[in-house]
Amino acid sequence: MKLFKLLSVGAFMLGAVTIASAQDEATNENSMDISFGVKGGFNFATVDGDNIESANARTNFHVGAFVEFPVADIFSLQVEALYSGQGAEYSPNSPLMSETGEILAEAGTYNTELQLDYINVPVLAKFYIFEGFSLEAGPQFSFLLNDEFDSKPTDGGGDVPSPFRKTANTFEFGMAGGLTFQTNMGFFATARYIRGLSDIADDVELNNAVFQVGVGYKF
């Protein structure tokens, strides 16, 4: 009877170890699966460099999707495609003129938005520091969709072509870095800083700088 009990306990322990091992393997396999997700949030964007006066942040948004390729338990590559409203807000040092030459607002008394809208494709190395928390960094490739000035950013109707229209660079290279906290349900919050390394136009030395905060869901 004692031998039977020992054999029974041994069989039970062996079965438990086998089941636990199978669960761990399943978890590891799942953690190494390619995953997809969607994300969106706010942009606080500006530009810095020459030929722009008193640039302030333009508040806009970003939205898009991503795919994550696990490489190891704590490391993966994440590729995103995002629409991103960027640019800056500033007070020009010249008056706002109507089409007939009438002065609508004196210099320094009105705000104008430089609106630069991109499709951003960041390719990020993602490091999981601990469960649910990751740091990411990598290059970003941006493709210009639209550039214009808006002298009535809160009222509408003030859009005019930007002075960079003929020289604007349709491609921008930059770097992105940030952090993400994800729940077990797949929902996450993220914060990121993006810095353009190439000029927004051929005839100016201006670079994009964007701080992003957002939320998303990973399937």
Mean pLDDT of the chain: 81
What's the pLDDT band for 7 if we cut at 50, 70, 90?
very low
**Range among 47-56, 57-66, 90-99, 107-116 rated most confident:** 57-66
Q: What is the pLDDT of residues 132-187, one digit of tens each?
A: 999 999 999 999 999 888 876 666 665 666 666 678 899 999 999 999 999 999 99
Q: Is the pTM of this model over 0.85?
A: no
- The rounded distance, in Å, linking the Cα atoms of 139 and 172 is 11
Mean pLDDT on 28-57: 81
Percent of the chain with pLDDT strictly greater than 70: 68
Buried b or exposed e, range 55-87, using 16+ CB within 10 angstroms: beebebebebebebebeeeeebebebebebbbb
User: In CATH, what class is 32-218?
Assistant: mainly beta
pLDDT at res. 14: 39
Beta strand extents in 74-183 (DSSP E only): 75-90, 96-97, 103-105, 112-130, 133-150, 159-161, 171-182
Domain boundaries, the chain: 1-31, 32-218
Q: Are 94 and 107 in contact (CB under 8 A)?
A: yes
Q: How many helices (H) and strands (E) does the chain have?
A: 1, 11
Res 156: pLDDT: 61
Name residue 103's beta-bridge partners.
Answer: 97
Q: Give CA 41 to chain center in angstroms.
A: 9
